[in-house]
Structure 1
């Protein structure tokens, strides 16, 4: 009896485990009724994160209908100026959820619900969590329309499928079919000496390998000489049919003398780990060459789950007098493969190029918190903000701080504090800490003040400066004039700009009633849609207040007439 019970429990547990790992391939339909062509793939390497969905091209147009791929209910709505812009989240009965971003607008009852809440909160930016019974959808219902809102570089639909723990998964696993008959493409292969005695081609620094295209379409690297523990990296991308975009690959597998060494698989990850992309890539090479090399080994402080197999963390040890082969196999989701072979001759020879280390006065231990003072600046680096111990070049001159250079990734926010006691107290609220771009212009960093000290967080090395902004934003009406009739207008549109700290907030009223303005920061344009039905009078007195990030404000007033 006990054995039978145990057998039943094992069978049930096995079935449960199998159910946990099975992915329904015929549950979700396509969210768009057009051929699916990608401008971005799942797991693609982006700035500070892995791409969490598919970017589906919308034929360079906005306003295409988006269809619910399965039954469910709207569980979350977020409208923001940046990031996902207008985003929609649908929870499905099978435990998965789908996400739609950069929308132009929502559809039907969803749009009405959003507008009601925006007017109630008197804010364009809202985050809403409707009750499960409030906004239900059936498979095939129109839920919204494609757009270019938020931090989008052009019209497209960002589409995600997430598991029950809100981890994004590759939508192609669920049967979302993207035609792809092209092999991945290879940019470069790098070799990295790791151990103190290691070298490649007589160098202890990273080496870019020379690749030769073979008749069968594979690549073979020029033979390298090496010794000690070394690792490799590859820069590769994929192109699906109908698109020239350099999208991410699906799988990378390496072998050393025929034995599997390392595997990266882009099927699922957690948002908590996505910033570790900066540890996974060769960040220094990326910042200097604008090509992301994926390191095919796991270093300390790299917990990424997309690494699904590793033998000795993906490193290989080359011994003197032995010849060997290292192979890299890059695969897309459709199984198109490109192979790279690296012949290695084990030779412990004289090192002609020792490891390059620039020593400075400030050496940072990654696992320890560090405070550094330079001039009127102080820098606080929390423990584990950096991935490894390193020297930093930190210097201050007047109101400018040189905080190393952006060739080392920062994982956690570090704090920059500046003593502004030499400024007139009445000017302190107009100061901010800005990061200088390549043109020498200061980007606004969110800055707080306590007494005569100003502080800002950052996760980017570079030059920072204390900036005074005493200039108010500029406001200009784009499609109407003061005192004129505009009965045929569908919208009110304004151009708003601020040259230094940037736009923080805005608010408009007509005849004392709040009107909702949508902000397109990419075009510096505010838009009111008369379809909102708020403006019903013939004579209308408009008042628009725009405030920048340090509190300078501009009030724009005008009168218009409308039947």
Structure 2
């Protein structure tokens, strides 16, 4: 009875903490059932998900309404990321965000387009004054879409606090039906040190997981000694969707006492990069599975709550311990994992041998490496941990370890290209070799005299690549000299097989026109409703430039009344 009471006390405070936010202030932004494809703080590539992804019934163009009274405080239109995004600041200090939009409401759309034409740029960021675009609760502000980095039609919705930190919208009463317990896919055990062992091994162990009839899980008993930790692969599902979503809270208990907790209710954008230290980054890089460590090592994330010894468990010889993991969703559906640990000292085991190279990276120091025409600069605190680095240069190819170490910030790779002709220098860029076919992926490259400089967070293999191919440009929905009087849109396809598209510019009869770029379909689209085309005979000119400066010019005539 005492053990059950202690477990209750472990997470009872977590239940109360959810009620400290206004519950009736914000309404849902769509007039359809709230079904989610993504939850708050889900583990994503290099970041935590900062809001709710609301399904839009596989459609675009649904009416998006303001969740509360306020004013439009920021508008951003970009090719990537959030695409078309709207920010509304409310009198209570919170800000709601609506992203991947198709278009804005007529008043906001006119406000944005006027400034896009003034700037002659599709991509734009605006900060209206409070009196410019006031908004009432439940009024139309936009239409849902699939713009930016969206993988399908949906509305990305956020609530941020006064410090611009995203918060879980469910804290404010925006809920969806969820009666299912979280799913545990796998559990791993880690020896944390040369003198720590699990089942007579000094390497990570995947443990055999057994689902129980009551929905919980048991794990095979293990023998261990020294400092150990665990990691878990888990997800949650809501009732109305089959998506594998993030969980809300994870706690661990050792012999009845809590020793670790992480609570996904708020984070800052400055810290979201530390997700790569929360997960087993090497495991993700090699197996594409995100397993979350239940111990804290060199990680400043604010998501961590009270921890005992940073979640590390010390196992002594001839002891017996019970380790429990509690995984919960926001609706407090929970799943438990139980692991029995026997402390056994085994004298015949050998520690894992670490590969030693001439290049040892100390995380708290700056390291400069140079070989041949290549130099690499790691600045202080680039990495979380010290490690031996593989570093090798052959001709113009740089082997810089494998992408198994998470980086906090960018390091630089510099190539001396003095041996190349001036013509060739202008066509070179630094590429990262990706996949088993070593596809050359463009890494943003700066030119400084005879040097090419790239800034990146990813280890791996890099090489000099040359791009002498011009981008391609072609008409999509019209032909040369065609009458387009009844057309609403003008569409052009652009592509580049080398370094990728850098920028484009479109004019009609010498006057700049707004063309929206969708990189997913490689399409530029102009809306004739902009009203800037007034002549009958029109000369369309599109100039497209790639990342090394190759450019193509596409010109054609069309007619319109």
| Alignment correspondent of 1:387 | 384
User: Take 1:326 and 1:401, find their aligned partners in 2: how far apart are those partners?
Assistant: 45
User: TM-score with structure 2 length normalisation?
Assistant: 0.96
| Alignment correspondent of 1:52 | 50
Equivalent in 282, 285, 288 of residue 284 of structure 1: 282
Cα offset, 1:56, TM superposition: 0.6
Equivalent in 178, 193, 203 of residue 201 of structure 2: 203
| Alignment correspondent of 1:140 | 138
| Alignment correspondent of 2:264 | 266
Is contact 1:203-1:351 (8 Å) kept?
Answer: no
Matched, 1:255 2:242: no
Matched, 1:309 2:306: yes
User: Take 1:71 and 1:105, find their aligned partners in 2: how far apart are those partners?
Assistant: 20
1:153-209 residue CA offsets vs partner (Å, 9 max, x unmatched): 000111000001100000000000111011101111111111331100011111111
Matched, 1:408 2:400: no
| Alignment correspondent of 2:185 | 187
User: Take 1:220 and 1:350, find their aligned partners in 2: how far apart are those partners?
Assistant: 28
User: Take 1:401 and 1:531, find their aligned partners in 2: how far apart are those partners?
Assistant: 51
Alignment of 1:426-445 (within 5 A): 426-438=423-435, 439-445=437-443
User: Take 2:478 and 2:413, find their aligned partners in 1: how far apart are those partners?
Assistant: 45
Is contact 1:205-1:356 (8 Å) kept?
Answer: no
1:330-355 residue CA offsets vs partner (Å, 9 max, x unmatched): 00000110000000011011353522
Equivalent in 175, 189, 196 of residue 177 of structure 1: 175
User: Take 1:351 and 1:103, find their aligned partners in 2: how far apart are those partners?
Assistant: 62
Runs of 4+ in 1 over 6 A off after TM superposition: 18-21
| Alignment correspondent of 1:373 | 370
1:486-507 residue CA offsets vs partner (Å, 9 max, x unmatched): 2221111011000011111111
Cα offset, 1:130, TM superposition: 0.5
Is contact 2:429-2:442 (8 Å) kept?
Answer: yes
Cα offset, 1:69, TM superposition: 0.7
User: Take 2:549 and 2:474, find their aligned partners in 1: how far apart are those partners?
Assistant: 19
Is contact 1:429-1:550 (8 Å) kept?
Answer: yes
Structure 1: 5+ residue stretches without partners: 1-17
Alignment of 1:34-49 (within 5 A): 34-49=32-47
Query: 2:276 aligns to what SS in structure 1?
Result: helix
Query: 2:91 aligns to what SS in structure 1?
Result: coil
User: Take 1:256 and 1:20, find their aligned partners in 2: how far apart are those partners?
Assistant: 25
User: Take 1:196 and 1:456, find their aligned partners in 2: how far apart are those partners?
Assistant: 37
Is contact 1:79-1:85 (8 Å) kept?
Answer: yes
Is contact 1:203-1:354 (8 Å) kept?
Answer: yes
Cα offset, 1:21, TM superposition: 9.3
Matched, 1:551 2:549: yes
User: Take 2:161 and 2:17, find their aligned partners in 1: how far apart are those partners?
Assistant: 13
Cα offset, 1:19, TM superposition: 13
User: Take 1:153 and 1:20, find their aligned partners in 2: how far apart are those partners?
Assistant: 31
User: Take 2:379 and 2:81, find their aligned partners in 1: how far apart are those partners?
Assistant: 26
Cα offset, 1:412, TM superposition: 0.8
Alignment of 1:86-485 (within 5 A): 86-300=84-298, 302-350=299-347, 352=349, 354-438=351-435, 439-485=437-483
User: Take 2:197 and 2:63, find their aligned partners in 1: how far apart are those partners?
Assistant: 57
Query: 1:320 aligns to what SS in structure 2?
Result: coil
| Alignment correspondent of 1:528 | 526
Is contact 1:205-1:353 (8 Å) kept?
Answer: no
Structure 2: 5+ residue stretches without partners: 1-15
Cα offset, 1:215, TM superposition: 2.2
1:70-105 residue CA offsets vs partner (Å, 9 max, x unmatched): 000000000000000001000000000001110000
Cα offset, 1:289, TM superposition: 1.9
User: Take 2:201 and 2:17, find their aligned partners in 1: how far apart are those partners?
Assistant: 51
| Alignment correspondent of 1:12 | none
Is contact 2:19-2:171 (8 Å) kept?
Answer: no
1:92-135 residue CA offsets vs partner (Å, 9 max, x unmatched): 00000001110000002111101001000000000000011000
User: Take 1:247 and 1:443, find their aligned partners in 2: how far apart are those partners?
Assistant: 30
* More displaced stretch, 370-379 vs 352-361: 352-361
| Alignment correspondent of 1:14 | none
User: Take 1:160 and 1:249, find their aligned partners in 2: how far apart are those partners?
Assistant: 17
User: Take 1:19 and 1:413, find their aligned partners in 2: how far apart are those partners?
Assistant: 37
Equivalent in 27, 47, 58 of residue 25 of structure 2: 27
CA RMSD, aligned part only? Answer: 1.4
Is contact 1:414-1:458 (8 Å) kept?
Answer: yes
Is contact 2:195-2:351 (8 Å) kept?
Answer: no
Query: 2:351 aligns to what SS in structure 1?
Result: coil
User: Take 1:489 and 1:399, find their aligned partners in 2: how far apart are those partners?
Assistant: 51
Indicate how the Cα distance of structure 1 residues 518 and 351 shifts in structure 2: closer, same or farther if over 3 A, else same: farther
Query: 2:270 aligns to what SS in structure 1?
Result: helix
Is contact 1:425-1:452 (8 Å) kept?
Answer: no
User: Take 2:523 and 2:418, find their aligned partners in 1: how far apart are those partners?
Assistant: 37
1:495-527 residue CA offsets vs partner (Å, 9 max, x unmatched): 100001111111111111111000000110000
| Alignment correspondent of 2:9 | none
| Alignment correspondent of 1:79 | 77
Query: 2:251 aligns to what SS in structure 1?
Result: strand
Cα offset, 1:426, TM superposition: 2.5
User: TM-score with structure 1 length normalisation?
Assistant: 0.95
User: Take 1:260 and 1:508, find their aligned partners in 2: how far apart are those partners?
Assistant: 61
User: Take 2:371 and 2:215, find their aligned partners in 1: how far apart are those partners?
Assistant: 55
